[in-house]
A and B are shown apart, each in its own frame.
Chain A
Amino acid sequence: MEGLSGIARAQLRIIKNNIAGIKNQPIIKTSFISLFIVLFWVGALALMYKGLWFFNRFPIIGPALVDEAIYLFFAALFIMLTLSSIIVCYVTYYNSPEVDYLFSKPVHDTVIFMYRFFQSVLYSSWAFLFLGVPFLLAYGLVKHVPSWFYLFIPFYFIPFILLPAALASITVLLFVKFIAHRRNKHILIAVSTMIVIVSYAYYMMYIRPELFAKSEIDYFLNDLLHHLSIFKYPLFPGYWMAKSVIHSGMNDIGNGLFYFMSFSLTTVVSIQINWFLAEKTFYSSWLSSRGGRVKKNFPMHRGIVNNLSKLLFFLPRFTTAMVIKDIKVFLRDPGQWFQFLIYFAILAIYILNLRNLPSSLNNASYDTYWKFIITFLNLSATALVLAGLTVRFLFPLMSLEGNKIWILGLAPITFRHILFEKFITSFVGILFISALLMISTNIMLRTKLSLMLISCGLAVMISLGLVGLSVGLGSIYPNFKEDNSAKIVSGFGGTLNFIIALFYVIFTIASFAIPLFSYEVHHSITERTFYHMIAICGVMNIIVTMVIGIIPMILGYKQLESMEF
């Protein structure tokens, strides 16, 4: 284990320095972030408890529904962790200057690999900490589990973050060794994509029609159970973890431990496979990832993006140049657009799943209450997705100029122009997404035109506020030293952006939901009062949107103008 002690000592020193760095931070900043973390965690626990409690109180099927939720939760978390670990592992192993440095030192390949592997595990462990632990606690509280169950939660935590990372790591090692640098890699990726599409088409053609043939309630239950049965496949590790939790919750120690051990042993074997693969392939695959790349040419005047200037003739030249530059940089950075694609995939699943709502919901006779609930839930989901998108992709925009900011600092353009360009480009993109989301989901839900127009108008207004907020705050708190947008977002400014965006979305939706529900559902206010309230809410929201969108932009501009490079 040559080099391991040196790396371990250096890491300990880095941790100590980081802790010392936190001590040097302003107390308000540290307290704010700590308070937010605690609030988020407690909020997640409360929300999960409420959700499981809601399922549990259903007569007869309640407890079973809670268990179904466990299968679903662990499956989703396991898949999410595995997918995110694939990206993290690839970047950590093959795209890090630290690995280049370590390979120049007398450190064994497997030591470097295992060190980077555990680093990737740490990067992805927050998901379980912030989602898994509150979920297990909520489950325990709803199911009144024995007290030892709570003490056992840390033991669930360790294998559950290790196994997805280990599987992702094996995938990355094999991919880089055998596929990544081959000329036909695109064919292999295309074939894999085709297999996924064909499987989905098969499911749609042969499996779903059978479900549709049944009566409404039969269909709904069958559909639900059919979907969930995928997560109960006995060889799926998420199933073992769910089984272990369910049995442990019932004080059935034998079965609880059996499934836990199945999971843990698979984890150990997977890590062993990683070790074996790393020994055989890591150095050679790292070498092949360094060299032998065919340098691709990007000729000027070819392609849609290069010819965008003709379409954007009405914009000032430097704005067009900045727009084209930003689009090119985004499209050529897989780290950026891959995450964007994941967002879109989740959105697509969400939109397609809206079709699974029982059709009776769309009947005119159906309870108005549920129609409003679903419409506003849809608006909330869309607004929260937009908030997530703007924080994740727009907040880092200015920071991503990074150490190249001197180019813009020297150019004969003001930061007002640069900021305006970032705002307009982002707003057009977000507006397109929000309009697409609102229109498509409202069509799926078959909401009436008036409600659709209100929700679309709200989505446009929210987009405006969120874009201004993220671009503005991103300029007030830029981080030019970091080129990883995920890390930029996780700083103070990104956290503040997320909190304000969350409150803004809640405020906007609640302010319209209250009068609408009072009038349309509960009939507790008169028509006159309703229209008064709607007018007041409209004006109030316009003011709040302007404050949320414009003030950060002005402060961001001032911050950039006074900045030294």
Chain B
Amino acid sequence: MDKLDLTISQGEFFSILGPNGAGKTTTLKLVAGLLKPSAGTISVNGYDINKHTMHVKKLISFIPDVPFVYEKLSGREFLYFIGELYKKNRKQCESEAERLLELFHMEDYGDQLMESYSHGMKQKVVICSALLHDPRIILIDEPMVGLDPKSIRLVKDILRERADHGTTIFMSTHTLNLAEEISDRIGIIHNGHLVGLGTVDEIKRAAQDTGKFEDVFLKLTAEA
């Protein structure tokens, strides 16, 4: 990333778009504290991530594009394990885990080892685990990969609803329609630079192109 200057407000649904290798996942990982910036600072809810790491970790959830999970644990065991890591009240954690499993139609598979799950099922469990501790900020990288249409709709609704209730959503995606549909604001990055920022209309205006968003995106990310 090169001099990325970005502020996302509480309760905002922000999507970051860009071609492969543009730096979307890197940006998310920097905010999640999984990568360290070589220069500059990242503040989450007013806390510098490098100085108040533990405090920030309690506030955020990260959903990676590839759902790497403990294959030898069942989905339910994984959720309970995450609940313990976040020191959630055991009873609350159990009822929340059951509610989420039911919401994603995973209650019948909850006791099976995750090694037997499909990619989409693992993704659902990871999404459940990210929602389990009621985070203030959700970082989500390509959320819909591997999900069936019903689950895509469900995830979109959940994320939008969470944003409406004050949770900040920072999503990285390749799917322009998805970003257009549910985001409050969009950032477009290309080769580590922010080349577009604002609502869909603001980006179009700035690019002096009133056509389709796809064309605007291609124009902004075209190689020189």
Check B32 for interface membership: any CB of A closer than 8 A: yes
Report if A298-B29 is in contact (Cβ < 8 Å); known contacts: A317-B87, A406-B62.
no
CA distance A78 to B29 in the complex (A): 51
Q: Is the CB of A318 within 8 A of B87?
A: yes
Q: Is the CB of A411 within 8 A of B113?
A: no
CB-CB under 8 A from A412, the residues of chain B are 54, 57-58, 85-87
Interface residue tally for chain B (C-beta within 8 Å): 33
Of chain A, the residue at the smallest CB distance from B87 is A317
Check B76 for interface membership: any CB of A closer than 8 A: yes
CB-CB under 8 A from A325, the residues of chain B are 70, 73, 77, 81
CA distance A414 to B54 in the complex (A): 8
Check B146 for interface membership: any CB of A closer than 8 A: no
Check A320 for interface membership: any CB of B closer than 8 A: yes
Q: Is the CB of A300 within 8 A of B77?
A: yes
Check B155 for interface membership: any CB of A closer than 8 A: no
Scan residues 3-54 of chain A and give those whose CB is less than 8 A from a CB of chain B. Answer: none
Of chain B, the residue at the smallest CB distance from A480 is B68
Scan residues 250-309 of chain A and give those whose CB is less than 8 A from a CB of chain B. Answer: 293, 295-300
Contact with A along B61-94 (1 / 0, CB 8 A): 1101010111011101100111011110000000
Distance in angstroms from B110 CB to nearest chain A CB is 9
Check A409 for interface membership: any CB of B closer than 8 A: yes
Scan residues 510-565 of chain A and give those whose CB is less than 8 A from a CB of chain B. Answer: 562, 564-565
Q: Is the CB of A298 within 8 A of B112?
A: yes
Scan residues 176-206 of chain A and give those whose CB is less than 8 A from a CB of chain B. Answer: none
CA distance A170 to B84 in the complex (A): 46
A318's contact among B61, B64, B84, by CB below 8 Å, is which?
B84
Q: Is the CB of A565 within 8 A of B68?
A: no
Distance in angstroms from B128 CB to nearest chain A CB is 13
B111's contact among A298, A333, A410, A565, by CB below 8 Å, is which?
A298
B113's contact among A317, A324, A332, by CB below 8 Å, is which?
A332
CA distance A504 to B101 in the complex (A): 51
Check A404 for interface membership: any CB of B closer than 8 A: yes
CB-CB under 8 A from B64, the residues of chain A are 406
CB-CB under 8 A from A318, the residues of chain B are 84-85, 87
CB-CB under 8 A from B77, the residues of chain A are 298, 300, 325, 328
Contact with A along B19-56 (1 / 0, CB 8 A): 00000000001001111100000000000000000100
CB-CB under 8 A from A332, the residues of chain B are 72, 113
Q: Is the CB of A333 within 8 A of B72?
A: yes
CB-CB under 8 A from A439, the residues of chain B are none
Check B116 for interface membership: any CB of A closer than 8 A: yes
Of chain B, the residue at the smallest CB distance from A483 is B71
CB-CB under 8 A from A299, the residues of chain B are 111
Scan residues 385-409 of chain A and give those whose CB is less than 8 A from a CB of chain B. Answer: 402-404, 406-409
Distance in angstroms from B47 CB to nearest chain A CB is 13
Of chain B, the residue at the smallest CB distance from A317 is B84
Interface residue tally for chain A (C-beta within 8 Å): 32
B112's contact among A297, A324, A328, A564, by CB below 8 Å, is which?
A297
Report if A298-B87 is in contact (Cβ < 8 Å); known contacts: A409-B34, A411-B57, A412-B58.
no
Check A221 for interface membership: any CB of B closer than 8 A: no
Distance in angstroms from B118 CB to nearest chain A CB is 12
Q: Is the CB of A564 within 8 A of B36?
A: yes
Check B60 for interface membership: any CB of A closer than 8 A: yes
CB-CB under 8 A from B33, the residues of chain A are 409-410
Check A413 for interface membership: any CB of B closer than 8 A: yes
CB-CB under 8 A from B74, the residues of chain A are 297-298, 300
Of chain B, the residue at the smallest CB distance from A324 is B81
Interface centre among B29, B85, B113 (most CB of A within 10 A): B85
Of chain B, the residue at the smallest CB distance from A402 is B68
Of chain A, the residue at the smallest CB distance from B80 is A300
Check A346 for interface membership: any CB of B closer than 8 A: no
A411's contact among B29, B70, B86, by CB below 8 Å, is which?
B86
Report if A410-B73 is in contact (Cβ < 8 Å); known contacts: A295-B112, A318-B87.
no
CA distance A506 to B36 in the complex (A): 42
Q: Is the CB of A328 within 8 A of B72?
A: yes
Q: Is the CB of A321 within 8 A of B85?
A: yes
Scan residues 331-357 of chain A and give those whose CB is less than 8 A from a CB of chain B. Answer: 332-333
CB-CB under 8 A from B112, the residues of chain A are 295-298
CA distance A485 to B133 in the complex (A): 32
CA distance A502 to B72 in the complex (A): 33
Q: Is the CB of A321 within 8 A of B81?
A: yes
Q: Is the CB of B76 within 8 A of A320?
A: no
Of chain A, the residue at the smallest CB distance from B30 is A564
Top 9 nearest A-B pairs by Cβ distance?
A321-B84, A403-B68, A297-B111, A411-B85, A332-B72, A412-B57, A565-B34, A329-B72, A412-B58
Residues of chain A touching chain B, judged by Cβ–Cβ distance below 8 Å, are 293, 295-300, 317-318, 320-321, 324-325, 328-329, 332-333, 402-404, 406-414, 562, 564-565
**Extra 13 A-B pairs, beta carbons < 8 Å, given A297-B112, A404-B70:** A295-B112, A298-B77, A325-B81, A402-B68, A404-B68, A406-B62, A406-B68, A407-B85, A410-B60, A410-B61, A412-B85, A564-B36, A565-B29
Q: List 18 A-B contacts (CB under 8 A).
A: A295-B112, A300-B80, A318-B84, A318-B85, A321-B80, A328-B73, A329-B70, A329-B73, A332-B72, A404-B68, A407-B69, A409-B33, A409-B34, A410-B32, A412-B57, A412-B58, A564-B29, A564-B36
